[in-house]
A and B are shown apart, each in its own frame.
Chain A
C-alpha cells in the first residue's frame, strides 16, 4: 500500500506523519486497562473449578 501511495514529486519541506492521534488512543487504552485492573478487585477468580485443590495429583 505504501508503494501505491508514494508521491511522484519531492516536497520542499520534510513531511512528518501526525502521530498525536495514535498516541492519544494508546494513552486512552492504557487508562482503560488501569481502570479495569482496579475494577477487577483483589484477586483472580476462575470459573468452573472446584473450591479447593490440594495438589495431591502431583
Chain B
C-alpha cells in the first residue's frame, strides 16, 4: 500500500487525529502533573550510566500481536541477550513470565482505570466492569480473559521483580498507576510528554515543565514509540531493534477485534467507506499481508517522521506489521541478536 493510494475518507480521519489530542488531554496532563509532584523525585537526568555492553545495542519490546505469534520473547530468552532491554507497560508481564527482566519499562497513558491493569490492578473487578478494552485486543489470551486469578498472579510477579526495574514514568500517569508502582517497589524516573512547541510562550509543554522541571520527550502518540525515543535520544544507544511493534493486524484478526471498531462507524457513510478505514500493507521481508486502521497508521506516520530526526540505526525485527521504510529496514530478530 502506497500512501498516495489511501482512500480520501481514511486520510480525512487521520488528519483530524493530530488536532484533537491536545484539547482532549490538556486538563488531564496538567492535573496529573500536579498530582505527581513529590519531594526528592528522580527524573531522566538522574539515570545512572550504562555498562559498555548495554550501551552498545538495545531491543525495544512493544506489545503487538507478533510478540506472541512470532515467539519473540522465547528468542530473546534463548539468546542470553546482553544488550539493553526496554519494555513498555503492556509487555512487562509477558517479559517477566518468560524470565526476561527488562532494564527499563515505559508508561505514558493517562487513562484513569485501564493502564494500572498492566501492573496488576488492586481494583480489578470495578475497573473491568462494562469495559471490553482488553478483551477486544489481540493480546496475551490471559489478559483478554479478564481473569481475577491472572490479575492476582500478575500482582505477585510484578512485586517480585519491580525493585530490579527502572520505571520510566510520564508525569501524565494516573494516580492508581503511581500508587501501584510505588507499592511494587519500582525505581521511578520521571519525564514529561512534549505536547506542543515548547518555544511558544503559551506552550502547554512549558507549563507542565514549570510544575516539575522534568525533561520532556516526544512520544509519537503511543508508548511504544516513546520507548524507542527514550532508547535513542535519552540512553543514546546507536543500534536498536524493535519487536512487537506491528502497528497493524494479522489478516486473520476479525475487524470487530480492532481497537476502534465501534468508533470508526461514526465516520463511515457506507460499508465501502468503512472498509477503506482498514488498508492493507505487505511486510517486505516475508510478503505477508497485514491491515491497519487510522490510529495505527497515525502512529506509523509519526514514528517515521521522528526517525528522520534520530541518530543511529533502527531495525524493525517484529517480523510482522506495517512499520517499514527505506531508513527502517526489516530484519529477523535472531539475525539482529546474533
Chain A positions within 8 Å of B, measured between CB atoms, are 31-55, 57-58
Whether A45 contacts B18 in the complex (CB less than 8 A), given A55-B213, A55-B215, A58-B209, comes out as yes
Given contacts A50-B309, A51-B310, A52-B234, contact A44 B299 (CB under 8 A): no
Q: Which of B296-333 contact A (CB under 8 A)?
A: 298-299, 302, 305-306, 309-310
* Set of chain A residues within 8 Å of B262, measured between Cβ atoms: 35
Residues of A within 8 A of B218 (CB): 45-46, 49-52
Contacts of A48 in B (CB 8 A): 197
User: How many Å lie between the Cα of A40 and that of B16 in the bound state?
Assistant: 9
Please give the distance in Å from A38's CB to the nearest CB on chain B: 5
- List 5 additional contacts besides A39-B294, A50-B309; criterion CB under 8 Å: A36-B263, A41-B298, A43-B110, A44-B193, A45-B21
Q: Which B residues are closer than 8 A to A by beta carbons?
A: 13, 16-18, 20-22, 24-25, 108-111, 172, 193-199, 205-206, 209-210, 213, 215-223, 226, 229, 232-234, 260, 262-267, 294-295, 298-299, 302, 305-306, 309-310
Chain A neighbourhood of B294, CB < 8 A:
39
Which of A31, A40, A43, A47 has a CB less than 8 Å from the CB of B226? A43
Smallest Cβ distance from A50 to chain B, in angstroms? 6
The 10 listed contacts between A and B (C-beta, < 8 Å) are A35-B260, A39-B263, A42-B111, A45-B218, A50-B218, A52-B233, A52-B234, A55-B198, A55-B209, A57-B199
In the assembled complex, how far is the CB of residue A47 from the closest CB belonging to chain B, in whole angstroms?
A: 7
Closest chain A residue to B210 by CB distance?
A58
Distance A54 CA – B206 CA, assembled complex (angstroms)? 10
Which A residues lie within 8 Å of B210 (CB)? 58
Are B17 and A51 touching (Cβ within 8 A)? Answer: no
Residues from chain A with Cβ under 8 Å of B110 in the complex: 42-43
Q: For B298, what are the chain A residues with a Cβ–Cβ distance below 8 Å?
A: 41, 45
B21 proximity list for chain A (CB < 8 A): 40-41, 43-45
Q: Do residues B24 and A46 form an inter-chain contact, with CB atoms below 8 A?
A: no
Residues of A contacting B199 in the complex (Cβ-Cβ under 8 angstroms): 57
A36 to nearest B CB, angstroms?
Answer: 5
Cβ-defined contact, B264 with A35, below 8 A: yes
Residues of A within 8 A of B194 (CB): 46, 49-50, 52-53
Determine the distance from Cα of A49 to Cα of B206 in the docked complex, in whole angstroms.
13
Question: Which chain B positions have C-beta within 8 A of A47?
Answer: 18, 302, 305
State A31–B223 Cα separation when bound (angstroms): 26
Distance in Å: Cβ of B272 to nearest Cβ of chain A? 19
